[in-house]
Amino acid sequence: MANSVVRLPIFEPGLGKTLRRDAWWAGPLATFTILSAFIVYATFRAFENRYFEAGPYLSPFFSPYIPVGGIPLASSIPFLSPAMLILPGPAGFRLTCYYYRKAYYRSFGMDPPACAVGERSAHKYNGETKLFLFQNLHRFALYVAIVFLGFLWHDFIKSLFWPAPGQSGGTEFGVGLGSLVILANCTFLSLYTFSCHSWRHLVGGSVNSFSTAPFGKLRHTLWSQVSVLNKNHMLFAWVSLFGVALTDVYVRSVASGAFQDVRFF
């Protein structure tokens, strides 16, 4: 029986050249738009440097708030707002995140723009070397992110304690809409942080056999649970990014008087 020959279409090299017929450009375009909008907004807030506190609420862009003599410690450094000193911590975590790397290499670098779509120049993948060597610091960025997460959960607890009427310096327990917004933000950020690939490696990596490794059973349980979160890392990356921005918008709106917070009890 004669062999039938299958002729594959010839792929032409060049930026954006592809045989794909689906809307492959929609993902990179959405990524470019959302990340650009976030960077512009965060930069605006870092320079605006006000409306970051409303009652017991604190914007995540300005956390940790460490007052010295009534002003945030970071404000005592000339020309720098607290957000300018704080944001590089969480930003470094996102910049070196394995998921975001894929997203911004495609949307900002077009290198390549999508699977099976032509890139700018002849394909030369050298790994993350030279200028991109810093990406290997992701594990350390994770440690920094966990510290920031601790500050943010602390802010949530603080958001539940309101100035008590008639008691100078006293507080009383209460829950407002802002407390719930801050709680949601902390939850989304925790899901993003603890679904991280480096965290998964930390709890379950470098093990040949869980049954013989120290704390193997515990590590296997943790690793299995982190693996469930890890499958949704991309979702958590986006939801938490919106969460941070919307929490800041909420606190800013209440602080500036544009929106009246609702206190449930």
Q: State the residues that interact with ligand FES by CB under 6 A.
A: 93, 97-99, 138, 196-198, 233
Residue 157: CB minimum distance to ligand FES, A:
25
CB of 47 to ligand FES, least distance (A): 27
- C-alpha–C-alpha distance, residues 129 and 159, integer Å: 44
**Which of 106, 233 has the CB closer to ligand FES?**
233
The DSSP symbol for 134 reads G
DSSP H helices in 110-215: 138-158, 177-193, 197-204
Least distance in angstroms from the C-beta of 131 to ligand FES = 20
Please give the C-alpha separations between residue 138 and each of 91, 94, 191, 199, in angstroms, as whole numbers. 11, 9, 17, 10
Distance CA 179, CA 186 (A): 11
Between 74 and 189, whose beta carbon lies closer to ligand FES? 189
Helix residue spans in 213-232 (DSSP H): 216-230
- Taking the least distance from each CB to ligand FES, the nearer of 75 and 230 is 230
Nearer to ligand FES, 47 or 98 (CB): 98
- Strands (E) in the chain, as ranges, are 53-54, 57-58, 67-68, 71-72, 161-163, 171-173
Q: Give the containing element (helix H, strand E) for 83.
A: helix 82-86
Least distance in angstroms from the C-beta of 99 to ligand FES? 5
Closer Cβ to ligand FES, 75 or 135, answer by number? 135
Taking the complex as a whole, the smallest distance from the CB of residue 202 to ligand FES amounts, in Å, to 10
